Structure 1
């Protein structure tokens, strides 16, 4: 019987302590502090000076750059004002075009020789027998097709380059930033060393 009373008293005591720690909903101790903070923020907002930072984001739209590059290779680079990339783009297309033309001429020649060998039993091709002609013919066709695929890859790369470059225009670089490649010399224990160093100046 005494143990029941002791348990009941302990439970009531613990409940009274827990209830004393709960703030009644009608009391808001932070009301005055919140009001003063809001007034300070409002007063500070009136004196704040907003400084606009010049950005290139409005001048270069990535979608436009991609569209121009898709319509005419190199047009996206012109839109982004990266004229130095034009020789790379067009030089790549010209080089790949020459490679395709070279291997296609070889393929046409070997195919003609193979047909002559098959149709004329007395004909001896200077490019080898039938087996050699077939092997070389397959090799030339694979090389030609490879460079045709590379032209497609270069086309997609120049579109991606124009799109990414237009996105990077959003980052306004420090106009005082200078990057220079200068010679460097160092005196080591075993002698002098000469090389190149990349220096960044802010």
Structure 2
């Protein structure tokens, strides 16, 4: 009986060795792609959709402000807000136009007043404006000229600030994970409209 069990045991060991050898040979014949598929474990992919966001550039606001300081409207072009460029030049052009016009009128009144002080009576405002009127006109035109210059400088500074702030806001992360939305709903029970505010915060 002992010899019989030993014979059966050796027979099973030989069969297993043959099977192992055969499987090894067959695996050598398989392509590498099939071997990789057998070895790899199934990968579980999360169903959450990952949104691709542009990398934050801390120097973008400074660049936009610098470009607008060199050439008004260039910072807006850097931010992609091309529709703002005509507004920038219209504002600056208006301020420059009024400055030039007031400066021209101021020089006319000043030259006429100087000729009267010199004893001439052939200026263009003769018999229409008095000496006091010319002095008052000089004050008004000079004040308007300085105000126009101040407005022009303010528009230039506002152009730089707009480019800087716009570059900040363009990189601000806005998505549905954090949102604050107003809503209006009519209740079906009493048929009364109700106004509310919804805050969504998701992880």
TM-score where L is the length of structure 2: 0.57
- 1:112-131 superposed Cα distances (whole Å, 9 cap, x missing partner): 11011111165573351111
Q: Which has the larger radius of gyration?
A: 2
Aligned residues: 129
**2:66 matched to which residue of 1?**
67
**1:178 matched to which residue of 2?**
none
Residue segments in structure 1 that go unaligned for 5+ positions in a row: 1-46, 175-202
Contact map agreement 1:80 1:166 (CA 8 A) in 2: yes
**2:144 matched to which residue of 1?**
143
SS at match of 2:108: helix
**1:77 matched to which residue of 2?**
76
Taking a change above 3 Å as real, the CA distance of residues 135 and 55 of structure 1, as seen in their structure-2 partners, is same
Q: Distance in 1 between matches of 2:161 and 2:60?
A: 13
Contact map agreement 1:96 1:147 (CA 8 A) in 2: yes
Taking a change above 3 Å as real, the CA distance of residues 121 and 58 of structure 1, as seen in their structure-2 partners, is closer
Contact map agreement 1:56 1:169 (CA 8 A) in 2: no
- Alpha carbon RMSD of aligned pairs, Å? 2.8
TM-score where L is the length of structure 1: 0.57
**1:171 matched to which residue of 2?**
172
**2:90 matched to which residue of 1?**
91
